[in-house]
Amino acid sequence: EVQLLESGGGLVQPGGSLRLSCAASGFTFSNYDMHWVRQAPGKGLKWVSTITGSGSFKYYADSVKGRFTVSRDNSETTVYLQMNSLTAEDTAVYYCAKDFGIMSHPFNFWGQGTLVTVSS
């Protein structure tokens, strides 16, 4: 059974940093791209970042480029999102999601999400 368990969310002051983790199990982790998606309160889904299975390629939304860094540890089957220079606009539930592994890259499993609140 595929499981994705996010952690690391919480309350942080503007300008602060936070590192999210997503522990994965139930599949061959290194074979799949992993994604981060966020959802501000009452709003829609917004893609944040993608990292390929080997970790060789990383992609970011323009809104987080230069501030967020995605990484993964395939030996620990965990993907991370380091978030720096946080602003109130980064307040959201952050989900990690597993790639289906096919051309169109649908996300076939999602974690339960972790809430990040940026506020003074």
Shortest distance (Å) from residue 59 CB to another protein: 5
SS (H, E, C) 3-51: EEEEECCEEECCCCCEEEEEEEECCCHHHCCEEEEEECCCCCEEEEEEE
Shortest distance (Å) from residue 19 CB to another protein: 21
Shortest distance (Å) from residue 89 CB to another protein: 17
Shortest distance (Å) from residue 68 CB to another protein: 14
Is residue 47 within 8 A of residue 95, CB to CB? The reply is no
38 part of the interface to another protein, by CB under 8 A:
no
Q: Are strands 10-12 and 114-118 parallel, antiparallel or unpaired?
A: parallel
Please pick, from the candidates 12, 95, 116, 118, the single residue that binds another protein as defined by CB under 8 A. 95
Please pick, from the candidates 77, 82, 100, 115, the single residue that binds another protein as defined by CB under 8 A. 100
Please state, in angstroms and as integers, the Cα–Cα distance from residue 20 to each residue in 23, 28, 30, 69, 70, following that order: 10, 21, 19, 10, 9
55 part of the interface to another protein, by CB under 8 A:
no
Tell me which stretch binds another protein (CB under 8 A): 8-16, 21-29, 82-90, 96-104. Answer: 96-104
| Contacts to another protein by CB under 8 A | 35, 37, 44-47, 50, 59, 61-62, 95, 97, 100, 102-108, 110-113
